[in-house]
């Protein structure tokens, strides 16, 4: 039934597709090449994953990172804080009554048409709010360049996502065992009996779509309209603003966007991504889709450190290229003073020790720390620097994570504040067996209540024993002490026997 209803949307889908193609990059890779050559002395000589990629010259990587930081700060400044923020506790709902990938796919298909209608209504409401004419291509919804007619993820895609989550759980368990990061930190440790059904219940993108705006103002309008429309229809919603979080997490390849998770119709989790048109224009020839093959290849492993580093630089270049376009549009609309102010005051990428910053994240019972200075040095130089560490609850220190594991865990983790991280580092329950032998007085302090109870118990026992000795023997026979004799003597009367 859902597929039949979708056919009624063919005219809308065709109109949207025409608008997307009309506003797409005329020749994405050619423009990217000119941008790379003119600004970062780059070359198209990186051969990875079956194709060639543009990359910056090694001595211009610092400039590239600085420019990305400026562009991301510019967008983050425009969007502000997007609430409610997604955390581990913010969206407790899950997909209802589904246990397998096939059941989840059917559930998503049943709600496909309603979800598409909801997103098209968000676009219409945002156009009304911003007085944007329809058909202009400045705001639109897309469900991917491969299948723009359906919001449901393919069954194969759902199965791959489930498998990926299972691998992440195994990785978290292996890391926990290796680092002795046991209890008292963040989430409860993942159970060894965790089943595929538990992963299916929390899979958040079996139903998905993308909202696209051509300018910062329109992107902001889409965020606000999506929130208000979700609230009106009773859908729970949370946001993950990667324009701010991405500077601290594992997106060293430059990925940016705003992700929203919605509990749609109270039965299924759905994902809505919000992008600038020059980052995601609905075709395969745009920064987001161009870099996806590189992201997937690096994520799945099989490349050495040098290739991974060069690959991340190539994707960072593509995102800087995309972000540069709306930035230039803002300047041309007589807003250059405000934008330039953001450029001058923005914190650019720096690997100086005094610029060191540490952020904290939680995933599957692990507390992770992310050292931005080390990440910067690792990205820009040929040396190995450890950016991500895991808290070891036994030794009470952060233990470095292998570079191959760190991006996967960080990508799935939730950010926490420094104060929350400090509280998670504290032992949940004080124990006598302290791992700090230089503080033996702690043992005495912990044992004082026990000593007091023992002494009180002994005093009570001695008192009872003495009382029993006075009152009678312990074998049940009458006691022969003076007290017993006095109590057993007959009372004297006033007469005497004659």
| 169 within a domain of the structure (yes/no) | no
Query: Are 26 and 58 found together in one domain?
Result: yes
Question: Comparing C-alpha atoms, which of 125, 147, 123, 139 is closest to residue 23?
Answer: 139
In a domain, 179, yes or no: no
* 143 & 67 share domain: yes
Q: Is the same domain home to 325 and 453?
A: no
Find the domain containing 335 and state its range.
2-153+205-348
- Position 75 in a domain: yes
Q: Does residue 300 form part of some domain?
A: yes
Residue 330 lies in a domain: yes
The string over 284-302, giving b where at least 16 C-beta atoms fall within 10 Å of a residue's C-beta and e elsewhere, is ebbbbbbbebbbebbeeee
Domain match, 330 and 360 both = no
Residue 119 shares a structural domain with residue 143:
yes
Q: Give which of 226, 288, 281, 221 is closest to 256, Cα–Cα.
A: 288
Question: How far apart are alpha carbons 184 and 51 in whole angstroms?
Answer: 47
Residuewise pLDDT in 10s, the chain (498 residues)? 444 444 555 555 555 555 555 566 888 999 999 999 999 999 999 999 999 999 999 999 989 988 888 888 888 888 988 989 887 677 778 999 999 999 999 999 999 999 999 999 999 999 999 988 876 678 999 998 877 789 999 999 999 999 888 887 777 777 766 655 443 444 444 443 456 888 899 999 999 999 999 989 999 999 999 999 999 999 999 999 998 854 445 567 899 999 999 999 999 999 999 999 999 998 999 999 999 999 888 888 778 888 989 999 999 999 999 998 755 544 444 444 443 333 333 344 455 544 557 888 887 778 888 887 777 777 767 667 777 888 887 788 888 887 666 777 777 777 777 888 888 888 755 444 444 444 555 556 666 777 777 788 888 888 887 877 776 654 444 444 444 444 444 544 444 443
- Kindly state whether residue 160 falls inside one of the protein's structural domains: no
Domain boundary among 325, 348, 371: 348
* Domain identity same for 387 and 329: no
- Is there a single domain that holds both residue 366 and residue 257? no
Domain membership flag for residue 252:
yes
Determine the pLDDT at residue 3: 45
| Per-residue model confidence (pLDDT) at position 269 | 96
Could you tell me if residue 480 is inside a domain? no
The verdict on 366 and 400 lying in the same domain is yes
Same-domain status, 247 and 305: yes
Q: What does each C-alpha distance from 440 to 178, 301, 397, 433, 448 come to in angstroms? A: 28, 47, 20, 10, 13
Residues 400 and 458 in one domain: no
Distance CA 112, CA 221 (A): 24
Q: Is the dihedral of CA 327, 333, 334, 338 positive or negative?
A: negative
Are residues 67 and 149 both part of a single domain?
A: yes
Contact 20, 127 (CB under 8 A): no
Using CA atoms, how far residue 487 sits from 169, 429, 491, in Å, is 78, 56, 10
Domain boundary among 348, 383, 401: 348
How many domains is the chain partitioned into structurally? 3
**If DSSP states are collapsed to H, E and C, what string results for the chain?**
CHHHHHHCCHHHHHHHHHHHHHHCCCCHHHHHHHHHHHHHCCEEEEEECCEEEEECCHHHHHHHHHHHHHHHHHHHHHHCCCCCECCCCCCCCCCCCCCCHHHHHHHHHHCHHHHHHHHHHHHHHHHHHHCCCCCCCCEEEECCCCCCCCCECCHHHHHHHHHHHHHHHHHHHHHHHHHCCCCCCCCCCCCCCCCHHHHHHHCCCCEEEEEEECCHHHHHHHHHHHHHHHHHCCCEEEEEEHHHHCCCCCCCCCCCCEEEEEEECCCEEEEEEEEECCCCCCCCCCHHHHHHHHHHHHHCCCCCHHHHHHHHHHHHHHHHHHHHHHHHHHHHHHHHHHHHHHHHHCCCCCCCHHHCCEEEEEECCEEEEEEHHHHHHHHHCCCCCCCEEEEECCCCEEEECCCCCHHHHHHHCEEECHHHHHHHHCCCCCCCCCCCCCCCHHHHHHHHHHHHHHHHHHHHHHHHHHHHHHHCCCCCCCCCCHHHHHHHCCCCCCCCCC
Residue 57 tokens read as: 């010259």
Say if residue 232 is in the same domain as residue 320.
yes
pTM of the model as a whole: 0.72
């Amino acid at each position: 039934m859902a597929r039949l209803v979708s056919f009624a949307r063919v005219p809308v889908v065709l109109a949207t597709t025409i608008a997307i193609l009309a506003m797409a990059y005329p020749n994405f890779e050619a423009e990217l090449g000119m941008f790379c050559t003119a600004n970062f002395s780059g070359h198209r000589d990186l051969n990875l994953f079956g194709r060639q990629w543009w990359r910056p010259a090694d001595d211009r990587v610092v400039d590239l990172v600085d420019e990305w930081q400026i562009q991301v700060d510019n967008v983050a400044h425009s969007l502000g804080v997007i609430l409610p923020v997604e955390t581990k506790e913010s969206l407790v709902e899950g997909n209802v009554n589904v246990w397998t990938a096939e059941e989840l796919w059917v559930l998503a298909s049943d709600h496909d048409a309603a979800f598409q209608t909801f997103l098209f209504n968000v676009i219409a409401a945002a156009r009304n709010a911003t007085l944007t004419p329809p058909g202009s291509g400045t705001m639109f919804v897309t469900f991917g360049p491969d299948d723009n007619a359906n919001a449901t993820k393919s069954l194969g895609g759902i199965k791959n996502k489930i498998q990926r989550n299972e691998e992440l759980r195994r990785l978290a368990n292996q890391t926990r065992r290796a680092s002795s990061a046991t209890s008292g930190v963040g989430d409860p440790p993942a159970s060894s009996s965790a089943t595929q059904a538990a992963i299916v219940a929390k899979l958040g993108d079996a139903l998905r779509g993308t909202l696209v705006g051509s300018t910062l103002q329109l992107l902001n309008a889409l965020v606000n309209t999506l929130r208000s429309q979700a609230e009106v229809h009773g859908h729970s919603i949370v946001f993950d603003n990667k324009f701010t979080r991405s500077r601290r997490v594992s997106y060293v390849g430059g990925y940016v966007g705003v992700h929203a998770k919605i509990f749609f119709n109270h039965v299924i989790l759905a994902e809505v991504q919000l992008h600038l048109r020059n980052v995601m224009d609905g075709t395969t020839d745009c920064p987001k889709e161009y870099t996806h093959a590189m992201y997937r290849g690096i994520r799945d492993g099989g490349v050495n450190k040098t290739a991974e580093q060069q690959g991340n630089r190539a994707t960072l270049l593509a995102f800087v290229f995309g972000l540069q376009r709306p930035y230039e549009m803002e300047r041309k609309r007589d807003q250059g003073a405000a934008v330039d102010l953001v450029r001058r005051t923005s914190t650019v990428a720096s690997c100086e020790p005094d610029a060191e910053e540490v952020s904290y994240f939680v995933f599957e019972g692990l507390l992770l720390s992310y050292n931005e200075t080390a990440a910067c040095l690792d990205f820009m130089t040929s040396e190995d620097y450890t950016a991500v560490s895991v808290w070891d609850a036994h030794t009470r220190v952060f233990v470095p994570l292998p570079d191959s594991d760190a991006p996967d865990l960080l990508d799935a983790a939730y950010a926490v504040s420094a104060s929350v991280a400090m509280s998670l580092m504290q032992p949940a329950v004080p124990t006598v067996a302290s791992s700090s032998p230089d503080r033996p007085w702690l043992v005495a302090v912990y044992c004082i209540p026990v000593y007091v109870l023992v002494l009180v118990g002994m005093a009570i026992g001695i008192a009872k024993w003495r009382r029993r000795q006075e009152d009678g023997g312990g074998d049940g026979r009458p006691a022969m002490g003076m007290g017993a004799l006095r109590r057993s003597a007959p009372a004297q009367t006033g007469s005497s026997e004659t």
